Amino acid sequence: TQLLEQSPQFLSIQEGENLTVYCNSSSVFSSLQWYRQEPGEGPVLLVTVVTGGEVKKLKRLTFQFGDARKDSSLHITAAQPGDTGLYLCAGSPQEYGNKLVFGAGTILRVKS
Amino acid sequence: NAGVMQNPRHLVRRRGQEARLRCSPMKGHSHVYWYRQLPEEGLKFMVYLQKENIIDESGMPKERFSAEFPKEGPSILRIQQVVRGDSAAYFCASSPQGSNTEAFFGQGTRLTVV
């Protein structure tokens, strides 16, 4: 079983629609990171959330860290074809020491 | 300030050969992670190293795979006697400290075993 469960696994939407991707765990994380990966490239760090309840905005992307620091969400407003990619959440659960673990990812395809 | 550098970007090996994948972390980073990724899948943790130490190798197969991060030079992921199932993208990430910090990735090495 995945320590970090991401949903949905796959999302295909039209340009201009809104969407939310979820990252859930039964473990507590000191911080969670979100990455975006395009085909043939390495993951690129988008944001780190640290404080329970924290909300961070990056242009049309809004990231939220759950109050209990066990879950996080990524909301994209008015999706663009350039948002297409694999979105990954990652973190180091407190019981795992410094090991950085990843969710399985959400594949997002935005059609024009 | 260069990012994480991995080489080669593409590596083709015949079954039974050895594959050596190199990763130079970002300047000032002393922690390195290696991950394996199959097409359209997430990243599977393999090993976490600090300079001259393996901290966690719980994701690495017990046989044929080894990793090192020497005091000088890049981190090396070594796969001996490669098999077709080893074909995948291998990513390296580095961070300045181990705990709860962001990791920055290289562009990966795509290993194809023929």
One DSSP character per residue, A43-88 reads -EEEEEE-STT-EEEETTEEEEE-TTSSEEEEEESS--GGG-EEEE
pLDDT score, position A30: 86
Return the number of CB contacts < 8 Å for A and B.
70
Q: Which residues of A touch B93 (CB under 8 A)?
A: 43, 100
Q: What is the pLDDT along chain A (112 residues), one digit of tens a residue?
A: 678 999 999 999 999 999 999 999 999 998 899 999 998 899 999 999 999 999 999 999 999 999 999 999 999 999 999 999 999 999 988 777 777 889 999 999 999 9
Q: Which residues of chain B have pLDDT under 70?
A: 1-2, 98-101
Question: Are B71 and B19 contacting, i.e. CB atoms less than 8 angstroms apart?
Answer: no
User: Could you give the CA distance from residue B96 to residue B26 in angstroms, rounded to a whole number?
Assistant: 8
Torsion of CA A61, A96, A106, B39, to 10 degrees: 130
Q: Do B100 and A31 touch (CB under 8 A)?
A: yes
* Other Cβ atoms closer than 10 A to B89: 21
pLDDT score, position B99: 52
Question: In the numeric block, which tokens belong to residue A33?
Answer: 């990171």
pLDDT score, position A39: 86
Q: Is residue A33 within 8 angstroms of chain B, CB to CB?
A: yes
pLDDT score, position B94: 93
Instruction: Scan for tokens 């395809």, then name that residue.
Output: A109
pLDDT score, position B74: 96
| Interface probe, candidates A56, A63, A65, A100, chain B, greatest B C-beta count within 10 A | A100
Nearest-by-Cβ selection for A99 from B42, B45, B108: B45
